Structure 1
Amino acid sequence: MENKSHALAAGIFVLVVAALLAGLAVWLTRDNANYEQYELSTKDGVTGLQPQAAVRYKGVSVGKVTRIGFDPQVEGNVLIRIAVNEQAPIGPKTFAVLGYQGVTGLAHVQLDDAEQPYPELPPGPSGLPRLPLKPSPFGQLAEQGPAILTQVEEATRRINQVLGDGNQQKLTEALTQIGQAAGSVSALSQRLDATVAQRLDPALAALPPLASEARKTLLTVQQAGNSVSALAADVSKTTQRLGAEGGPIDQITVGTQALARAADQFGTTTLPRLNRAADDTSRAARQLSRTAGGVSDNPQLFIYGSGRIPPGPGEPGFAAP
């Protein structure tokens, strides 16, 4: 009887302790925050996302995933329902994307803000607002995987063509030619060194005397410049003397003016007289020319005078006396 009472007391104690632990767990895990429901619709796969998965806003936990199913409005789309703390700054620029935790493959919903507001999505049949869900980097990589593999195969095929037997032989010949060219360059470099040692070094050694001669030449040129400057000063003085009042240029100007006056007087007085004398001479010459012409035509003028000569026998108008 005593053993049964001890067993009953132990069982009651265990039940009380279990109830206390359950109550403590509920008290510790209680959540008094208010949540707002949102929906996400996507045509991409949501592998690794489970209910109760975390919802983070820029890395801060603000809610959890409450349901994962299919979108009744769009055939083939996955519908995700999330509960977000009402204190989270959800706005028109907010969008969602699936994030993955390390190598475990577990996914969570990551919320972030874009630079420009997104067009407002119409609510679903449940009446809950919807947020745009962008493809995750892994989803984009999975979509582009076939294209990447095709490009890799094409690149591999081209590499195999480049590394074919014929191209390898050409590459070997090219390397051989490059080696020969390098040897030629080395020989040319040695020749250049020898040329520098044989010709350039003596030329460099001759530079100091040449510089000395150039310095002497410059001194001579400077002296010649000084002489030219002195000559220019003398020419300037001579020019000043020639241009002074009463000087040679002034006298030449006076003589020129006197000559101009004499030419003017000749043109106004002497030249008209000469013109009249020339006219008289011309008239006398014309009269003398006419007289000479008349004598040439009728020499009998000296005998009979300038009258008309009667016709002779045999001439028209002849009349016997």
Structure 2
Amino acid sequence: MENKSHALAAGIFVLVVAAMLAGLAVWLTRDNANYEQYELSTRDGVSGLQPQAAVRYKGVAVGKVTRIGFDPQVTGNVLIRIAVNEQAPISPTTFAVLGYQGVTGLAHVLLDDAEKPYPELPPGPSGLPRLPLKPSPFGKLAEQAPAILTQVEEATRRINQLLGDGNQQKLTEALSNIGQAAGSVNTLTQRLDATVTQRLDPALAALPPLASDARQTLQSLQQAGAGVSALAADLGKTTQRLNAEGGAIDQITLGTQSLARAADQFSNTTLPRVNRAADDTSRAARQLGRAAGGITDNPQLFIYGSGRVPPGPGEAGFAP
């Protein structure tokens, strides 16, 4: 009898503890938030998505997946029903996409906003509003997988052609040529080093004296420039003095004007007189010439005068 009472007490204790744990679990998992139901329809696969999966808006948990099935309106589409907290900023620009968590393959629903509003989708048979579901990156990759595999096969075929026996021999020859070219480059480098050591270094050593000479030449040119500047200043002063009123240029101008007036006076007064005297002298010289000619022809003029002497006997025109 005593053993039965202990077993009954232990059973009652276990039931009470279980009830308390259940109540604690219910209290801890209670959710007093209000949710709004939305539906998502997609033709892509939803591998890794399970009911009760999280729904996140820009990374913040705002709900969960309540049901996954098939869309009765579109054959082959998967219908996902989600519950979203009414405080989540769902707007006409909101869209959904499936996200995958790490390497586990578990999927969840991501909500985000686009730059422009999407066309409003008609509600399904249940009357719940629908959100546009964009293909996930994993789904795009799965769609592009056949094309990627085809490109990989083509690239592999071309690589095999490139690495054929003939191309390998050509590649070996090319590597040998590259080695010879590298040897030639090393030889050229050594020659360049020798040239730099034997010719360029002495030339560089001669540059400082040359720079010193150039500096001295520049100083001489600067001094000569200073002298030229001083000479130019003196010439400027001399020019100012020559151009000053009553200066040498004015005096030369006055002398020239006086000389011009004297030349005009000589031309107008003295020169005509000289010309008349020259004419008189010329006439006198002509008369003197005629007189000398007459004397030469008839010397008797000094005795008989200027009258004509009658011809004598034996002369032409003699009349007895």
For residues 146-225 of structure 1, the aligned pairs below 5 Å read 146-218=146-218, 220-222=220-222, 224-225=224-225
Residues 125 and 191 of structure 1: CA distance in aligned 2, closer, same or farther (over 3 Å): same
Which residue of structure 1 lines up, in the alignment, with residue 55 of structure 2? 55
Q: Does the alignment pair 1:40 with 2:40? A: yes
Aligned to 1:129: 129
Q: Which runs of 5+ in 2 are unaligned?
A: 270-320
1:20 aligns with 2:19: yes
Shift of 1:165: 2.2
Size of the aligned set, in residue pairs, is 269
**Mapped pair 1:109 → 2:121:** no
1:129–1:205 distance in 2 versus 1, CA, 3 Å: closer
Letter in 1 for 2:19: L
Using a 3 Å threshold, how does the CA distance of structure 1 residues 37 and 206 change in structure 2: closer, same or farther? closer
Residues 36 and 177 of structure 1: CA distance in aligned 2, closer, same or farther (over 3 Å): same
Q: Alpha-carbon deviation of 1:47?
A: 1.9
Distance 1:238 1:15 in 2: 132
Tell me the secondary structure at the aligned position of residue 67 of structure 1.
strand
How far apart are the structure 2 equivalents of 1:134 and 1:10? 60
Q: Which residue of 1 aligns with 2:74?
A: 74
Instruction: Supply the distance in 2 between the matched residues of 1:170 and 1:200 (Cα, whole angstroms).
Output: 42
Residues 263 and 195 from structure 1, CA distance in 2 versus in 1: closer, same or farther, beyond 3 angstroms? same
2:107 aligned counterpart, secondary structure: strand
Distance 2:53 2:215 in 1: 93
Change (3 A) 1:232 1:150: same
Q: Which SS does the other structure have where 2:73 is aligned?
A: coil
2:291 corresponding residue in structure 1: none
Give the C-alpha shift of residue 4 in structure 1: 11
Distance change in 2, residues 1:149/1:250 (3 Å): same
- How big is each residue's C-alpha offset from its partner over 1:287-307, in whole Å with a ceiling of 9 and x where there is no partner? xxxxxxxxxxxxxxxxxxxxx
- Compute the displacement of 1:130 (Å): 0.8
User: What letter matches 2:201 in structure 1?
Assistant: D
CA–CA separation in structure 2 for the residues paired with 1:119 and 1:98: 20
Residues 203-282 of structure 1: pairs in structure 2 closer than 5 A: 203-218=203-218, 220-222=220-222, 224-225=224-225, 227-255=227-255, 257=257
Encode CA deviations 1:25-68: one digit per residue, 9 max, x unaligned: 55554444332211111111122223333333333433332222
CA RMSD of aligned residues (A): 3.9
TM superposition shift of 1:187: 1.8
Offset of 1:154 from its aligned partner?
A: 1.8
How many angstroms apart in 1 are the aligned matches of 2:13 and 2:229?
Answer: 129
Which whole-Å CA distance do the structure 2 matches of 1:256 and 1:143 have between them? 112
The DSSP-based 3-state class of the residue aligned with 1:66 is strand
For 2:73 and 2:265, locate their aligned partners in 1 and report how far apart those are by CA, in whole Å: 127
With structure 2 as the length reference, what TM-score do the two structures score?
Answer: 0.67
Query: Bigger CA drift: 124-133 or 24-33?
Result: 24-33
Between the aligned partners of 1:197 and 1:8, the Cα distance in structure 2 is 107
* Matched letter for residue 157 of structure 1: R
Shift of residue 140 of structure 1? 1.1
- Higher mean C-alpha deviation, range 215-224 or range 96-105: 215-224
